[in-house]
Structures are given as structure tokens and as C-alpha cells.
Amino acid sequence: MNSFKIYKIPQKYIWTRSRVIIISLVVVFLIFIIKVGFIGKTDSDIVEKIFGYLSITLMVAGLINSFFREQLKGTLDGLLKFENDGITIEDRKFQLDDIRLIKIQITDYAGKQISTIPMIWEMYSSGVENKVVIILHTGEVKTCYFQLQGENHLMRASDELYAYYSAGKMLTENYNGITRDCFYMLRSTEFL
């Protein structure tokens, strides 16, 4: 049994560090443009100096922020467990016999570089853009986002994934894509 943290997407807008910095920068620049464009230069350049210092401070804060991992816009709550006889999402277990199809999409892992521009936006991912979709025989569809801690974190569940594939619960393309990606990531880290 291999478990992964479940990522829950919030219903409300979350104020992250990046969002606060970028909105603050936009507001400072808009006020500065309005002041210079409509009011014009004054004898005292104190307003320009204040907005200049604020802009520099926000850009430095953005640069520092870019070296941190992406801030979660939701929460990590509960566990997704891959087991040979089914999949457990939080407290609900889906038996393999009740499942018609399992689709797994892996695009992210914690620490993956997501930006090459070291300014404002974070450079490293939190690894939560992965999802498993379970389609039951009843027609119910259950989607669950989960976090991968590293490039080859899903390799821990390779036996369970093979059990799903051999039971006919995963499409060949999906299974081959996952194993190919995991194998490639595993091989690329062996030479480091």
C-alpha cells in the first residue's frame, strides 16, 4: 500500500505571496503613472521617491519569493492509497471490482522548476498538479488531485499500477505513459 497526500482545491480566492506582490506592484505603478501623467512634476519629488522605493522593495521581495517553493492555493488533507485490491481516497475505498476505469495524469512533482524567470513568481512547484480519475460501473466519476514528493515518487506504487493494468482497469496508453515517464525520471537521476 502506497499513500500520497490529497490536494484539495479551495472554493474561495487564496491570497498567495506572488499574488500580493504582483497586485501591489501594479497598484504602485498605476498610482505613479496617474501622478506623473495627470498631476505632473512638482517642486517636491517626495512622491516619486516614495513610489520608487516601494517599487524597488516589491521587486526585491518578488526576487526573494522566486527562490521559494510555490505556495499552495489549497490544502493537503487526507490520503490517497493505491492498493492491489482497490484505491482508497480519504476514508472511502473503491474496490477494483467496482471500478470500470482508472486514469492517472502525472505532470508535476515537488521541486520541479516551473519558471525560468527569477522575478515575482515562484521557480519551484509544490507537486500538486497530478490527478487520478476513477470511473465506477455505476457511472460515478471520482477525481482526486494528489502531491508527488519527487520525480520518481510514484514508482513506489508500480506494483499496484501493474495490478490495475493487468486487471484491465487502466488503458494501455495511460499505463505505458506513466511507466515510461517514471522510468525516464528514475534513469535521469541515476547518473547524478
Q: What is the pLDDT of residue 121?
A: 61
The verdict on 41 and 96 lying in the same domain is no
138 and 58 in one domain? no
Same-domain pairing of 106 and 145: yes
Which pLDDT value is given to residue 182?
Answer: 58
Domain boundary among 28, 45, 65: 65
Of 142, 130, 70, give the one whose Cα is nearest residue 100.
Answer: 142
Residue 54 located in a structural domain: yes
Q: Are residues 57 and 81 in the same domain?
A: no
Tell me: do 93 and 27 sit in the same domain: no
Residue in this structure with the C-alpha cell 517636491, named with its chain if needed: 44
| 66 vs 182, higher pLDDT | 66
What are the counts of helices (DSSP H) followed by strands (DSSP E) for the chain?
4, 9
Per-residue pLDDT tens over the stretch 129-160: 889 999 999 999 999 999 888 777 778 888 89
Q: Which domain holds residue 39?
A: 17-65
| Residue 95, phi then psi, degrees to nearest 5 | -70, 145
Supply the pLDDT for residue 43. 65
Q: How many domains does the chain divide into?
A: 2
Mark whether 97 and 21 lie in a shared domain. no
Of the pLDDT bands very low, low, confident and very high (cuts 50, 70, 90), residue 58 is confident
- Residue 53 falls inside a structural domain: yes
- Supply the CATH number for residue 129's domain: 2.30.29.30
The confidence score (pLDDT) of residue 191 equals: 42
Is 151 a domain residue? yes
Same domain, 109 and 178: yes
- Answer yes or no: do 90 and 114 share one domain: yes
| Cα–chain center distance at 142 | 19
pLDDT for the residue 192: 43
The Cα 125–Cα 159 span in angstroms is 27
Q: What is the pLDDT of residue 140?
A: 94
Kindly state the helix (H) or strand (E) to which residue 63 belongs, with its residue range.
helix 46-65
Most confident of the following: 60-64, 106-110, 117-121, 164-168: 164-168
pLDDT of residue 145: 93
pLDDT band at 187 (very low <50, low <70, confident <90, very high): very low
On whether residue 55 sits in a domain, the answer given is yes
71 is a domain residue: no
